[in-house]
Amino acid sequence: MPACVCGEIAKTQASISVTTEKRRFGKVNTIISGFDDGVNIKDIAKKLKMKRACGGTVKNKVIELQGNHKGFIKSILVKEGFSEDQIEE
pTM attached to this predicted model: 0.84
**Using an 8 Å Cβ cutoff, are 30 and 65 in contact?**
yes
Spatial separation of the C-alpha atoms in residues 89 and 20, rounded to whole Å: 9
Spatial separation of the C-alpha atoms in residues 60 and 80, rounded to whole Å: 21
Least Cα distance to 47 among 29, 32, 28 occurs for 32
Per-residue pLDDT tens digits for 43-88: 999 999 999 999 999 999 999 999 999 999 999 999 988 888 888 8
Is there a domain that residue 89 lies in? no
What are the CA-CA distances from residue 19 to residues 4, 15, 29 (Å)? 31, 13, 8
Is there a domain that residue 42 lies in? yes
Q: How many domains does the chain have?
A: 1
Residue range of the domain that includes 12: 6-82
